[in-house]
Amino acid sequence: MSEIKISVLEQSNLMEDLNKIKSMGLSEQDFEQINQHGISLENIQKQLAIFKKGIAKMELLEAATVGNGILKLSKEEFVEKATFFDEHKSDLKLLKFVPASGAATRMFKFLLTFLNEYNLEEESINAYINRKKDTKLRVFIVGMDKLPFFDSIYKKLKEEFPDFDSLSRDYKNYHFIKFMLGSEYFNFASKPKGILPFHKYATAIATPIEEHLYECGYYSSTNNQSYLHFTVSESHQKQFEHIINNVKGKVEKETNTSIEVSYSYQHKSTDSIAVSMNNKVFRTQDGKLLFRPGGHGALIENLNQLDADIIFVKNIDNVILHNNDTIALYKKALAGILLELQQEIFACLNLIDLYTAENNQIEEIKNFLKMKLNMEIKADFDLYTFENKIKVLKAILNRPMRICGMVKNEGEPGGGPFWVKNGQKEISLQIVESSQVDLNDKKQAKIMANATHFNPVDLVCATKNYKNEKFDLHQFVDENSGFIVEKNYLGKDIKSYELPGLWNGAMANWLTVFVEVPLITFNPVKTVNDLLKEAHQSK
């Protein structure tokens, strides 16, 4: 009897789903494709509705600055915080979380354009540079012999062209770029950044993967044990493993740290459906729906699966040569700030749970929230009953926490720190990208332009509560802060939805503290020319 009931229930659910599909103008074949992709029909409905009605832009109140949302410490204070962290970390599990799934295509974009547009038989490279005003190409050619992979490519060129040294300069430079990027040769643009040669040492070439392993020993280890987690594309994992198998033993010996490495993938269920520019469901040449990755905001699910007391978050390309003592100081200091605040927060929550808090202590907690955590309490809070005050304060305090390093704005791309007001009129500190702001509004554009700092993705996070239970991080996402992006598919313009960014909307409702850190802590490799900068060149 129970089996019949279940089958009837399943049939009822199926009919309900098919009715939803029809209401969206989709077919049963589409339903099967959506199911195979693991995306819920509710999410498809939400995404299609978002395309039609758009996403409300964020309301910026003012840029966060030093003394107004950004904490500034002296060198002595940074040392003090780092020492506090070292003194209190022995019972904690530390983990380093490194998003590393993307290919390096953007890193070589200007060179790919050059290969597509340049004709060696018709003009000199210098003429091309002048015609296109391509300063990036000029910098690359002048400095390419300093790149860590120059010798490997040059050696291959000499194997292919025995008379290579006697060829013209333009011929050499053109074929160097072609070998570096060509799919039949080094194919760098299609590989993940993590496995590319980044740094040249006296006896070896190091990848970002190796540099992140070293960083584990410098600041993300307790009792000689460290945990490192990469989010990767499934097709790239073996390449990561190959490098790690080759260098991990050497790194562990030099840092006296045992490093456990784990991996996860961006879940296909977080992909979004693509639509045409007039918001009609887009179909591929074979009539199937097109799904695109939901952006780095999808990684909140990967982060949610990890079990650690403190999680350091850093991008794959933000590394320097092995001299990491300075980097370690500031990373440990951010963790020290987190631990100090966490101790105070947990004390407040335990006080509330014991119901021993008195009215004067409520006022102290309220001041702590404002002064240390930049949390504004609603104006009518003082009119609440004691019980309701307790509930409000507990709801505010009992959240995951992040300490975010902020560097002075030097014109690099990246989200910035701002005071914002959400749809419920609540004021908070957020990391905001330009795409989230209505830049046609002169007042909003001016506030955006007034940003003194930007976010280098330098986060230290705590994802457990005062009872040592893991938070469900999905509960703290601002679902209204996703992006609609325009892309191109086989020459056709399409629109896609990206989830609230990992360090933007996905962490919007976390307890947040911004701390100014020196620019030396931010050394990303956004283009191949960044490898020519001092932080990536051996002395």
Distance from C-alpha of 319 to C-alpha of 536, rounded to nearest angstrom: 8
Answer yes or no: is pLDDT of 15 > 70: no
Give the pairing type, strands 291-292 and 272-273: antiparallel
pLDDT bucket at 471, cuts 50 / 70 / 90: very high
pLDDT bucket at 1, cuts 50 / 70 / 90: very low
Mean pLDDT of 198-207: 94
Distance from C-alpha of 68 to C-alpha of 478, rounded to nearest angstrom: 23
Q: Are 352 and 393 in contact (CB under 8 A)?
A: yes
Answer yes or no: is pLDDT of 202 > 70: yes
Q: Is 318 left (phi over 0), alpha (psi -120 to 50) or beta?
A: beta
- CA 274, chain centre distance (Å): 22
**pLDDT tens per residue across span 397-453:** 999 999 999 999 876 656 799 999 887 788 899 999 888 899 899 999 999 988 999
- CA 376, chain centre distance (Å): 27
Contacts 24+ apart (CB under 8 A), 239-242: 239/191, 239/192, 239/195, 240/100, 240/192, 240/194, 240/195, 240/209
**pLDDT tens per residue across span 371-402:** 999 988 888 888 888 888 889 999 999 999 99
Answer yes or no: is pLDDT of 469 > 50: yes
Model pLDDT, residue 310: 98
**pLDDT tens per residue across span 26-47:** 888 888 888 888 888 888 888 8
Mean pLDDT of 526-537: 94
Each residue of 196-231: b (16+ CB within 10 Å) or e? bbbbbeeeeebbbbbbbbbbbbbbbbbeeebbbbbb
Answer yes or no: is pLDDT of 251 > 80: yes
Maximum mean pLDDT: which of 48-62, 87-101, 322-336:
87-101
Distance from C-alpha of 99 to C-alpha of 296, rounded to nearest angstrom: 8
Answer yes or no: is pLDDT of 473 > 70: yes
How many other C-beta atoms can be found within 10 angstroms of the C-beta atom of residue 312? 23
Model pLDDT, residue 414: 61
Model pLDDT, residue 9: 43
Mean pLDDT of 276-294: 91
Q: Residues of the chain with pLDDT > 90: what percent? A: 67
Answer yes or no: is pLDDT of 484 > 60: yes
Helix (H) or strand (E) holding 459: strand 458-462
**pLDDT tens per residue across span 338-369:** 999 999 999 999 988 877 667 778 888 999 99
This model's pTM is above 0.75 = yes
Nearest to 289 by CA among 27, 59, 483, 112: 27
Model pLDDT, residue 465: 97
Q: Are 213 and 247 in contact (CB under 8 A)?
A: yes
Helix (H) or strand (E) holding 248: helix 237-255
- CA 260, chain centre distance (Å): 22
**pLDDT tens per residue across span 154-175:** 999 999 998 988 999 999 999 9
Answer yes or no: is pLDDT of 215 > 60: yes
Q: Are 416 and 432 in contact (CB under 8 A)?
A: yes
What's the first-to-final CA gap in the chain, in angstroms?
78
Lowest mean pLDDT among 260-264, 412-416, 485-489, 531-535: 412-416
Mean pLDDT of 470-491: 90
pLDDT bucket at 14, cuts 50 / 70 / 90: low
Distance from C-alpha of 461 to C-alpha of 466, rounded to nearest angstrom: 14
Distance from C-alpha of 342 to C-alpha of 513, rounded to nearest angstrom: 12
Answer yes or no: is pLDDT of 71 > 50: yes
Distance from C-alpha of 129 to C-alpha of 521, rounded to nearest angstrom: 33
Burial of 23 (0-12, 13-18, 19+ CB in 10 A): exposed
- For the chain, the structural domain boundaries read 2-53, 55-90+272-539, 106-190
**Mutual angle of helices 2-23 and 41-53, in 10-degree steps:** 20
Nearest to 223 by CA among 312, 96, 92, 81: 92
Distance from C-alpha of 192 to C-alpha of 206, rounded to nearest angstrom: 14
pLDDT bucket at 4, cuts 50 / 70 / 90: very low
pLDDT bucket at 21, cuts 50 / 70 / 90: confident
Strand ranges inside 268-385, DSSP E: 272-273, 275-276, 291-292, 310-314
Q: Are 422 and 466 in contact (CB under 8 A)?
A: no
DSSP 510: S
142: tokens are 């002048």
In this predicted model, which residue has the larger pLDDT, 493 or 17? 493
Answer yes or no: is pLDDT of 464 > 90: yes
pLDDT bucket at 6, cuts 50 / 70 / 90: very low
Q: Residues of the chain with pLDDT > 70: what percent? A: 95
Nearest to 313 by CA among 231, 194, 193: 231
Q: Could you give the 3-state DSSP secondary structure of residue 184?
A: coil
